[in-house]
Chains A and B, each alone.
Chain A
Amino acid sequence: MGKEESPQVTRRTTRSSSSAANLDNVAEKTKAKDPPPPTLNDLLFGEEKPITLDDLLSSFPGRRVQILELLRILGPVNCPMLPVFIYGGTSTGKTSIILRIFAHLNRPFVYSSCLTCYSPRILFESVLDQLLLHRKSAANGYSSAKRCERPSDFVNFLREALTSILCNLQGNSGNLRSKKLEGQANGHMIYLIFDNLELVREWIKSNTMLPFLFNLYDILKMPEVGVIFISNTSPDTYYSCMGYVEPTPVYFPDYTEDNLRQIFMRNQSNKKLYSSFLDIVLKPFCRVTRRLDELSTAFSLLYKKYCEPLSDQGIVPNEDMKRRLFSQLQPHIASSLNEIFRVISLPSAEVGATKKPKRKDTTRKSGGCEVPDQLDFHMSTSAKYLLISAFLASRNPATLDASLFDSTGGSDSRKRKRKPSEKSKEHKETAEQESLMKGPGTFPLERLLAIFQCITSVAADEEEQENDGLGIQAGDNSLMSDVLLQLSSLCNASLIVKGGSCPLDGSTRYRSTVCEDMTLQVARSLKFPLSKYLYRG
């Protein structure tokens, strides 16, 4: 589907319009030539001819009730409607269904998502651009038709734009009542769709924006305008910024197991085989998640695994073969259940390469934490040491540094630990609780550098012993080079994060976000005895 390249349709290439077209095989014709000047029909979904109701219902299994409900609310042509609030979890088909419904009804609408329009100004301008049939291009310097930042300006512009559009629509329907042109808009209502409304709550001006958006219908006082909100979260999560009459709710529940089966069975070439595959995997996976997007990535890999022993993909499996395939797949299910959410960059190459759960990383930002076994770390030795020392600094209490890194003090601390009294046990429990709660500790730069120096000198010593004093100072020198630069690059990779500054001396404090497993791996690659230096409660 090359429709992303065609500027004529890009206005309508939302996440779901492309996916829905994918599902339906009602691919749009792509036009490689220059885009024609925008017309009123750009506010339509942009299909050659409207899809039928049956097509609509069959392309969304398990959503029959919701589709019919929405159609009832939208009503017959030219019926005014009260604002609608569509809500439901992620990947339950809210956006794609409402857009397909408009393709079916062939009525003009304006779609803007608060995800891409991440500030009031961009949201307002996107709505106005669509209404004014304005297209950003090189000729106009990719600027919007109107510049507007305040809700008050927006309402004025919106009213202007809507009136002119509605005039056009009414004129059209008046002229062409006798002979309905193909691709002509139905009726003279226009619908404003606001997607991802839950994100508005995070905006800076959310406490004025949300009541404004919810009240938009009342402010405009134009019965020809329908307002539709789509949100991931339920209406009660908006209550803190109340100040509007609640729009009428439509709920999209998560897909049930049966729905999921129907969805996965669509567009399968070998239905029998896939159905037997689903018999095995669907139930255990549904206990973990019923989200379509996550399941489909997991299943696509597993199915390949499932089909591996088969030479002919078009084969109709019998009972015996099903059993054989099942036993083949069984060991993979459990492992794949545990890595169900792993983001895989090279799906075909990495299948089954790693069995261990890898998503033990700490921040979502730090995708760099997931390092498969067989891949070496693309890090310099000093960066590795720095990482280890940061980890140590985060985990170990600062008071123990001296005893841990001083060769004489080490035995002392061990002696002290040997007599655990009742009180110390209690202490230990609360400390454990605290460590669970607090996470890795923060440390100043000086401490990190001190630890770094200690462990690198130890490593250098060992090297010396091995090499019999051949590379006397070489190791140390190379390790100490540009440590600060390394530190900043580790910070950029968010393996180490800058914490809040210390309230007393104002120096920046750091915190290591790397998990223990990964540090152990790093240590292993350096042959560094990490466990020796790690303080354990």
Chain B
Amino acid sequence: MGRENPAAEEALCLLRSRLCDPNFIFKPLSDSPDSNYSKLKFMISSSITEACNNSVLLLGPRGSGKVAVLELVLRDLLLEYPDMISVIKLSGLLHSEDVCAFKEIARQLCVENQLLFSKMASFDDNSQFMIAMLRECGLAHKTIVFVLDEFDLFAQGKQRLLYSLLDAMQSVTSQAVVIGVSCRLDADQLLEKRVRSRFSHRKLLFLPPSSEDLQRLMEHILSLPIDSSLPQDYAVEFNAKLQNVLADKRFKVIIDTYMNSDSTANHLLGFLFRAVSNMKLENGFLTLENFEAALSNVQRQPKLESLKDCSIVELYILVCMKRLEVKEQNSYNFNSMMKEYKSIHDSLRTPDYYSRSVCLRAFEHLLQRELISFTDKRGQNQSVEFHPVKLLVSFHELHQGLKSYRSCPAILQKLMAG
């Protein structure tokens, strides 16, 4: 692959590594003075210079670049104030338990300050160590920045971590910033009263980029640098072709359909990643077809796909279940489905009539495909035939699926309709 055109391969690698690097992507969105980047940077740097405590919540939908912007800010501040900041990062997914969280804080503090970390330290030891470290750092005019990713998960349980963090920040000796990152807009409402009263209630809202921003972002990500190891004429040609694609009406339609469901930046990245992967290395340019292919790759209709994978018997079972639901039978299982199947066969003489055992296995396949499921998880010792089941596809989807099914028996369509 790609031995034909080393420049194209290099370009592809460059684009892909850009797409996988959130810091690069959110750089241009943080230029303007009223961006979240500037606000956040101002806030943290002022608390560093004025040696005060602070806390802030970064809120916004998943994939809107909260962590990426925060990382950018922290990276720049670390350059600006070397030796004055130490960053402790926790994630709600990993450290939502208090014991775990304190241990991780102690571990990271030890690493930062070249201390020996004891794995055997107890919860109390660790929390006392943290308080002591906060005081020491305060005396040394060193700010500790706590980043709590998935902040809402820390609010489960007793919130001991949040309380001791925010409580420690009430004293003048400590010097720390707590930054919570969450995609729950009501994250501060989850806090207990004693915690909420100690929280500063500063919030930064991250909104999905506007369409102009999106356009700028795509240009920023996809165009190649002119002054790099890439051959210059290739880069210029690549950029010119890219501009053509970006300006194309059809491209706008593609982007609009894709961004309709979710207009965050990370959502766009997934799409661009597929498009860039689709790039043909032989000619080495991004074309409109790449984006079209990416759209069909990314936008999937899983239920319709699995309907297409079904065999005829499985479709019969689905249609029988649909008919039972139309009859308003409030709960049904394999046996009642078989009764319906048999009655259909008796009245219409379908060519596809199989024995009970075959149907049972087909039924199990459907369960595996998750087109149907048991209505309740209880009573597992009861056998499959007697378990009440329900359809997981809507009638409309089933209808759609039958229509698009290759060589679907006409009789099934008829049964489905009436």
Question: Contact at A357–B381, with CB atoms within 8 Å?
Answer: no
Question: Which chain B positions have C-beta within 8 A of A76?
Answer: 1-2, 9, 12-13, 281
Measured CB to CB, the closest approach of chain A to B95, in angstroms, equals 5
**Given A80-B17, A237-B370, A245-B270, is A362 in contact with B357 using a C-beta cutoff of 8 Å?**
no
**Complex: chain A residue closest to B364, CB-CB:** A364
Question: Contact at A363–B361, with CB atoms within 8 Å?
Answer: no
Question: Contact at B386–A219, with CB atoms within 8 Å?
Answer: no
Among B31-39, B139-147, B299-307, the one that faces the other chain is: B299-307
Chain A 206-247 interface mask (CB, 8 Å, partner B; 1/0): 001001100100110001000000001111110000011111
Among B42-50, B169-177, B272-280, the one that faces the other chain is: B272-280
Measured CB to CB, the closest approach of chain B to A361, in angstroms, equals 8
Question: Contact at B19–A82, with CB atoms within 8 Å?
Answer: yes
In this assembly, does A290 line the interface, its C-beta being within 8 Å of a C-beta of chain B?
A: yes
With beta carbons under 8 angstroms apart, the residue of A156, A243, A253, A288 that contacts B354 is: A288
In this assembly, does A291 line the interface, its C-beta being within 8 Å of a C-beta of chain B?
A: yes
Question: Contact at A357–B357, with CB atoms within 8 Å?
Answer: yes
With beta carbons under 8 angstroms apart, the residue of A80, A232, A290 that contacts B16 is: A80
Question: Contact at B94–A151, with CB atoms within 8 Å?
Answer: yes
**Given A75-B12, A338-B358, is A235 in contact with B311 using a C-beta cutoff of 8 Å?**
no
With beta carbons under 8 angstroms apart, the residue of A87, A245, A288, A433 that contacts B311 is: A288
In this assembly, does A79 line the interface, its C-beta being within 8 Å of a C-beta of chain B?
A: yes
Which residue of B19, B298, B333, B382 has the most chain A CB atoms within 10 A of its CB atom? B382
A155 to B336, CA, bound (A): 50
In this assembly, does B113 line the interface, its C-beta being within 8 Å of a C-beta of chain A?
A: no
Question: Contact at B360–A89, with CB atoms within 8 Å?
Answer: no
A78 to B19, CA, bound (A): 14
Question: Contact at B355–A357, with CB atoms within 8 Å?
Answer: yes
Question: Contact at A219–B356, with CB atoms within 8 Å?
Answer: no
Question: Contact at B270–A248, with CB atoms within 8 Å?
Answer: yes
A499 to B386, CA, bound (A): 14
Question: Contact at B381–A498, with CB atoms within 8 Å?
Answer: yes
In this assembly, does B217 line the interface, its C-beta being within 8 Å of a C-beta of chain A?
A: no
**Complex: chain A residue closest to B387, CB-CB:** A439
Which residue of A69, A237, A286, A287 has the most chain B CB atoms within 10 A of its CB atom? A287
Question: Contact at A359–B333, with CB atoms within 8 Å?
Answer: no
Measured CB to CB, the closest approach of chain B to A196, in angstroms, equals 12
Question: Which chain A positions have C-beta within 8 A of B360?
Answer: 359-360
Question: Which chain A positions have C-beta within 8 A of B107?
Answer: 156
**Given A76-B12, A81-B20, is A151 in contact with B93 using a C-beta cutoff of 8 Å?**
yes
In this assembly, does A532 line the interface, its C-beta being within 8 Å of a C-beta of chain B?
A: no
Measured CB to CB, the closest approach of chain B to A46, in angstroms, equals 22
Question: Which chain B positions have C-beta within 8 A of A436?
Answer: 333, 335-336, 339
With beta carbons under 8 angstroms apart, the residue of B16, B96, B306 that contacts A234 is: B306
A477 to B96, CA, bound (A): 65
A342 to B220, CA, bound (A): 59
In this assembly, does B114 line the interface, its C-beta being within 8 Å of a C-beta of chain A?
A: no
Question: Which chain B positions have C-beta within 8 A of A244?
Answer: 62
**Complex: chain A residue closest to B281, CB-CB:** A76
In the complex, which residues 379-418 of chain B have their Cβ closer than 8 Å to any Cβ of chain A? 381-386, 388
Question: Which chain B positions have C-beta within 8 A of A286?
Answer: 311
Question: Which chain A positions have C-beta within 8 A of B196?
Answer: none
Question: Which chain A positions have C-beta within 8 A of B20?
Answer: 80-82, 223
**Complex: chain A residue closest to B97, CB-CB:** A150
A76 to B15, CA, bound (A): 12
Question: Which chain A positions have C-beta within 8 A of B267?
Answer: 245
Measured CB to CB, the closest approach of chain A to B363, in angstroms, equals 11
Measured CB to CB, the closest approach of chain A to B36, in angstroms, equals 19
Chain A 355-383 interface mask (CB, 8 Å, partner B; 1/0): 00111101110000000000000000000
In the complex, which residues 319-371 of chain A have their Cβ closer than 8 Å to any Cβ of chain B? 337-342, 357-360, 362-364
In the complex, which residues 221-243 of chain B have their Cβ closer than 8 Å to any Cβ of chain A? none
Question: Which chain A positions have C-beta within 8 A of B331?
Answer: 437
**Complex: chain B residue closest to A105, CB-CB:** B1
A150 to B333, CA, bound (A): 40
Main secondary structure, interface of B, reads: helix
**Complex: chain A residue closest to B359, CB-CB:** A288
Chain A 286-311 interface mask (CB, 8 Å, partner B; 1/0): 11111100000000000000000000
Chain B 245-284 interface mask (CB, 8 Å, partner A; 1/0): 0000000000000000000001101100110011001000
**Given A150-B100, A223-B17, is A359 in contact with B305 using a C-beta cutoff of 8 Å?**
no
A290 to B267, CA, bound (A): 35
Question: Contact at B270–A69, with CB atoms within 8 Å?
Answer: no
Question: Contact at B303–A234, with CB atoms within 8 Å?
Answer: yes
Question: Contact at A360–B336, with CB atoms within 8 Å?
Answer: no
**Complex: chain B residue closest to A89, CB-CB:** B309
Question: Contact at A234–B94, with CB atoms within 8 Å?
Answer: no
Measured CB to CB, the closest approach of chain A to B317, in angstroms, equals 12
Measured CB to CB, the closest approach of chain B to A445, in angstroms, equals 17
A150 to B302, CA, bound (A): 33
Question: Which chain B positions have C-beta within 8 A of A78?
Answer: 13
With beta carbons under 8 angstroms apart, the residue of B95, B312, B332, B333 that contacts A287 is: B312
Question: Which chain B positions have C-beta within 8 A of A232?
Answer: 368
With beta carbons under 8 angstroms apart, the residue of B311, B333, B361, B384 that contacts A290 is: B311
Chain B 76-105 interface mask (CB, 8 Å, partner A; 1/0): 000000000000000101111100100110
Question: Which chain A positions have C-beta within 8 A of B91?
Answer: 219
Question: Contact at B94–A155, with CB atoms within 8 Å?
Answer: yes
**Complex: chain A residue closest to B381, CB-CB:** A497
Question: Contact at B298–A75, with CB atoms within 8 Å?
Answer: no
In this assembly, does A152 line the interface, its C-beta being within 8 Å of a C-beta of chain B?
A: yes
Question: Contact at B308–A437, with CB atoms within 8 Å?
Answer: no
A245 to B386, CA, bound (A): 38
Question: Contact at B298–A439, with CB atoms within 8 Å?
Answer: no
In this assembly, does B352 line the interface, its C-beta being within 8 Å of a C-beta of chain A?
A: yes
Measured CB to CB, the closest approach of chain B to A224, in angstroms, equals 10
In this assembly, does A73 line the interface, its C-beta being within 8 Å of a C-beta of chain B?
A: yes
Measured CB to CB, the closest approach of chain A to B229, in angstroms, equals 15
Question: Which chain B positions have C-beta within 8 A of A339?
Answer: 357
In this assembly, does B362 line the interface, its C-beta being within 8 Å of a C-beta of chain A?
A: yes
Question: Which chain B positions have C-beta within 8 A of A79?
Answer: 12-13, 16-17
Question: Contact at B270–A236, with CB atoms within 8 Å?
Answer: no
Question: Which chain A positions have C-beta within 8 A of B270?
Answer: 82, 245-248
With beta carbons under 8 angstroms apart, the residue of A245, A249, A359 that contacts B266 is: A245
A218 to B297, CA, bound (A): 22
In this assembly, does B204 line the interface, its C-beta being within 8 Å of a C-beta of chain A?
A: no
In this assembly, does B369 line the interface, its C-beta being within 8 Å of a C-beta of chain A?
A: yes
Question: Which chain A positions have C-beta within 8 A of B308?
Answer: 253
In the complex, which residues 51-85 of chain B have their Cβ closer than 8 Å to any Cβ of chain A? 62-63, 67
- 17 sampled A-B residue pairs with Cβ under 8 A: A80-B20, A81-B273, A82-B269, A89-B306, A90-B368, A152-B95, A152-B103, A233-B369, A237-B302, A243-B62, A248-B298, A251-B305, A253-B305, A338-B354, A363-B383, A437-B333, A497-B381
Residue ranges of B at the interface with A (Cβ–Cβ < 8 Å):
1-2, 9, 12-13, 16-17, 19-21, 62-63, 67, 91, 93-97, 100, 103-104, 107, 266-267, 269-270, 273-274, 277-278, 281, 297-298, 300, 302-303, 305-306, 308-309, 311-313, 331-333, 335-336, 339, 352, 354-358, 360-362, 365, 368-370, 381-386, 388
Q: A75-B277, A340-B358 are in contact. List 20 more A-B contacts (CB 8 A).
A: A73-B277, A75-B16, A82-B20, A82-B269, A89-B368, A237-B370, A246-B270, A249-B300, A250-B297, A253-B309, A288-B354, A289-B311, A289-B365, A359-B361, A360-B356, A360-B360, A362-B383, A363-B381, A363-B383, A439-B335
CB-CB nearest 9 A-B residue pairs: A234-B302, A439-B386, A359-B357, A362-B383, A80-B20, A254-B309, A152-B94, A338-B355, A341-B361
Residue ranges of A at the interface with B (Cβ–Cβ < 8 Å):
53, 69, 71-73, 75-76, 78-82, 87, 89-90, 150-152, 155-156, 208, 211-212, 215, 218-219, 223, 232-237, 243-251, 253-254, 286-291, 337-342, 357-360, 362-364, 433, 436-439, 497-499, 511, 513
